[in-house]
Amino acid sequence: MSAGLWLIGLGPGNLDHMSKKAIDVARACSERFLEGYTAILPPYQEDRLEDFVGKWERIMRPLVEDPEKLLKLAKEEPVALLIVGDPMQATTHVDLEARCDELDIDFNIIPGITATALAVSLSGLQSYRFGRQVTIPYSYGDYLPSSPLEMIYRNYDNNLHTLVLLDLDPTGMGVEKPTPMSPHDAFTILQKMEKKMVEGGKKISQPVKNLDGVLLTDISLDSQKIIAGNLSEISEYNDGWIHCLIIPSKMNQNEIDAFERRKIV
């Protein structure tokens, strides 16, 4: 294979969902780096990675955002940057496209399944009824913006469902191994945002604890669990490794049925 940078999607977490093409191209590269901060593989999947693609090395945010070393290598030989999910979901990977373009380095993408796309499809809710997605950040010190909850309410009032991602990086620096936020923490943070909105005189569409929610835990892994209920109920579920949340707006009958099938009995 010729020199260049190959961004390769590893899929949603379970390596069995990698495509044959992703495996073949990763193996054919002469160096392989795992991008380790925008997303994370569960430890026992990380242990399997070498069997799938060969020897690899982890790199964190500084080496991806100041990619001189990476690009110098890619100018000389085929280099794989392995990325959990789909490679182009994160801004930082789009930046790599720009850098390769400037430096005339061959740039290629092998797509992967993202957990976010799966979350939507596994929820049983209709994909075209989703509004913009929202991330709940860890709070840094006293600072807690209420804008994520405001966006959830805006979707809700416009009759659109919201996919809610939970933050992975309590430090905000991208240098340590990610720490997925628990459903309980997400619920607590949403309630703090609600309190801030109420104190600021902003209208809330529905108290946070009464909102419906679908909790998707460990998507694609053997431990995958999808449960429905109100946010207060489902935030009690704290098993599993990594979570995301869907907050449905008004559901049609098919969606209500799917929601009921996912309820904790």
Residues found near a second copy in the complex (CB under 8 A)? 11-12, 14, 16-21, 23, 86-89, 91, 94-95, 97-98, 101, 109, 111-114, 116-118, 121-122, 124, 126-135, 160, 220, 254, 257-258, 261
Q: Which helix (H) or strand (E) holds 49?
A: helix 43-53
To 10 degrees, the CA torsion angle through 153, 157, 161, 164? -10
Eight-class DSSP state of 70? H
Query: Minimum CB separation from a second copy for residue 260, in Å?
Result: 10
The residue (of 17 and 209) whose beta carbon lies closer to a second copy is 17
Query: Minimum CB separation from a second copy for residue 88, in Å?
Result: 4
Torsion sign, CA atoms 7, 8, 9, 15: negative
Please name the amino acid found at residue 138: Y
The residue (of 223 and 232) whose beta carbon lies closer to a second copy is 223
The residue (of 133 and 188) whose beta carbon lies closer to a second copy is 133
Phi, psi of 147 (to 5 degrees): -60, -35
Q: Beta strand 31-35 with 57-59: parallel, antiparallel or unpaired?
A: parallel
The residue (of 89 and 217) whose beta carbon lies closer to a second copy is 89
The residue (of 133 and 232) whose beta carbon lies closer to a second copy is 133
Residues near 206 by beta carbon (within 8 Å), at least 6 away in sequence: 153, 156
Query: Minimum CB separation from a second copy for residue 32, in Å?
Result: 18
Query: Minimum CB separation from a second copy for residue 126, in Å?
Result: 6
Query: Minimum CB separation from a second copy for residue 221, in Å?
Result: 12
Query: Minimum CB separation from a second copy for residue 57, in Å?
Result: 24
The residue (of 209 and 243) whose beta carbon lies closer to a second copy is 243
In whole angstroms, give the CA distance from residue 256 to residue 208: 20
Which of 5, 57, 66 shows the shortest CA–CA distance to 36?
Answer: 57
Residues near 194 by beta carbon (within 8 Å), at least 6 away in sequence: 146, 149, 204, 207, 208
First to last CA, the chain: 53
The residue (of 98 and 198) whose beta carbon lies closer to a second copy is 98
Q: Which helix (H) or strand (E) holds 243?
A: strand 243-247
Q: Residue 42: how many CA atoms within 13 Å on its side-chain side?
A: 19
Query: Minimum CB separation from a second copy for residue 236, in Å?
Result: 25
